[in-house]
Amino acid sequence: MGRLKAGFILPTWCSPPDQLRWRDLLDLAKTAEQAGFDSLWATDHMLLESTNAELRRRAGGEVPPGAEVLPEGYMEVFSVLSALAAAMPGMGLGTLVACTGYRNPALLVKIADAIDEISDGRFTLGVGAGDSEGEHEAFGFPVENRVSRFEEALKIIRTLLREGRIDHQGEYYTIREVELLPRGPRPHGSPILIGTLRPGPRMQRLVAQYADVWNGWLAYGVSWPEAYPAERDVVDEACRKHGRESDTLEHTVGLRVLMPGSLYTPPQHERPLRGSTEEMAEALRGFAAAGVTQVHCAFSPGTAESVREFGKVLKAAGVT
CATH number of the domain that residue 299 is part of: 3.20.20.30
Residue 286 in contact with residue 255, Cβ under 8 Å?
Answer: no
- Rounded to whole angstroms, the Cα distance separating 67 from 130 reads 26
| DSSP result, 262-283 | ------TT-B-B-S-HHHHHHH
Tell me which DSSP letter residue 222 carries: B
Q: Quick check: bond before 97 cis, omega within 30?
A: yes
Rounded CA-CA distance 296/6 in Å is 6
- pLDDT (tens place) for every residue of the chain, 320 residues total: 568 999 999 999 988 888 999 999 999 999 999 999 999 999 999 988 754 434 444 444 455 556 667 788 999 999 999 999 999 999 999 999 999 999 999 999 999 999 999 999 999 999 999 888 889 988 999 989 999 999 999 999 999 999 999 999 999 999 999 999 999 999 999 999 999 888 899 999 999 999 999 999 999 999 999 999 999 999 999 999 999 999 999 999 999 999 999 988 898 999 999 999 999 999 999 999 999 999 999 999 999 999 999 999 999 999 87
Instruction: Give how far Cα 68 sits from Cα of 50, 53, 298, Å.
Output: 8, 9, 23
Calpha distance 278→296 (Å, rounded): 19
Pick the closest to residue 190 from 252, 100, 116 (CA basis). Answer: 116
Rounded to whole angstroms, how far apart are CA atoms 292 and 232?
9
Q: How far is CA 119 from CA 141, 294, 299, in A?
A: 30, 20, 25
Q: Judging by DSSP bridges, how do beta strands 192-196 and 213-217 pair with one another?
A: parallel
Q: How many domains does the chain have?
A: 1
State the pTM of this model: 0.93
Angular region, 189: left φ>0, alpha ψ -120 to 50, beta rest: left
Spatial CA neighbour of 274 closest among 291, 256, 288: 256
Q: Which domain holds residue 84?
A: 5-317
